[in-house]
Structure 1
Amino acid sequence: MNETLFSALAEPNRLHIVELLRSGPLTVGEVAEQLGFNQPQTSKHLKVLHESGLVEVQPSANRRIYKLRHQPLIELDDWLDSFRRLWEERYDRLEDYLLELQEKDKEQGNKE
C-alpha cells in the first residue's frame, strides 16, 4: 500500500473532497464553492490528492477539472479485504468455540 494515499486521506478536508468527487469530475472552483473553502486552500488539497494518485487533473482552457482515479481505491479495498477475511476467520473460530462451550454446559446440565 502507498503510504501517501493514507496520508492524503487522513486529512478531513481532503477526505471531504474525495467524497465530493465521488459524484463526478469538478473544477477547483466548484469544489471550493461546494465545500466552502477558498480557492488556494482547495488547490493545495487537490495537489496533495493528485500527488498521492487519488485524483487526476484535466486542463480545460484556464480551468482544471479533477476526477477520482479508481485504481488506488480498488487497491485500498483489496488491502482492507485481507483484514476482513482474517477477522471473519477469527469470528468464525470464536463462534465455534462458544457453541462448543454451550454444548458442554448443556451436557453438564443434563448430568445433574
Structure 2
Amino acid sequence: MADIFDVVADATRRDILAVLLEREQVSPESHGEISVSEIVAALGLSQPTVSKHLKVLREAGLVSVREEGQHRYYRLDRGPLETLEDWLIPFMSSDAAADAATLAGIEASDAESLKAEQRAFASALGKAFAETAHQVSAVVAPIKRR
C-alpha cells in the first residue's frame, strides 16, 4: 500500500478527488457517487488512466466503489484525509502556541521552547499513527479481498 502522501502527491489523483468532492457537494442525492465515464469526461483523460489512478485511490482507502453490472460508481471516503488533516494541523497552527503563551504571560523564549516540543511530539505522533495505520491496512486488505 502506498503512503498517503505519495497518493495525494499526484496531480491527477488530486483532480479525481476534487471531482468526487464536487459531486458530493453539488449532487447530494447521488450520495457522492459518480461513474468512471463521468470522471473521464470531467477531466478529459483516457479511461485507462482514470482507472489506474482510481485503483491507487481505492487501495489507499480514499475512495470506495460500488459495482452495478459493467459500471463502477466511486465516492470519496474522508477517513484517510481526516487522518492526514489531524497530522497536518499542528504544523499549520504553529503560531497558536505562541499566541496562547503570550496571553498566559509566558516569556517568548519559553513559548518558542513549547512550540518546538509540540512540533516534535506532533511529528512523532503523526509518524507513529501513519505507520500503525499502514500496518493495519496491510493486514486487513488481504482479509477484505476474501
User: Which TM-score band applies after superposition, normalised by the shorter structure?
Assistant: 0.7 to 0.9
User: 25, 28, 44: which one pairs with 2:52?
Assistant: 44
Count of residues paired in the alignment:
96
**Is 1:19 the counterpart of 2:27 in the alignment?**
no
Q: CA deviation at 1:78?
A: 1.2
Normalising by structure 1, report the TM-score.
0.74
Structure 2 unaligned runs (5+)?
24-31, 109-146
Distance 1:87 1:76 in 2: 20
Contact 1:54 1:73 survives alignment (8 Å): yes
Contact 1:5 1:53 survives alignment (8 Å): no
**Is 1:82 the counterpart of 2:81 in the alignment?**
no
* SS of match in other structure, 2:61: coil
User: 38, 50, 56: which one pairs with 1:30?
Assistant: 38
The residue identity in structure 1 corresponding to 2:6 is S
Percent identity of paired positions between Structure 1 and Structure 2: 36
Distance 1:91 1:3 in 2: 37
Structure 1 unaligned runs (5+)?
98-112
1:18-40 alpha-carbon deviations (Å, 9 max, x no partner): 01101222111110111000100
The residue identity in structure 1 corresponding to 2:90 is S
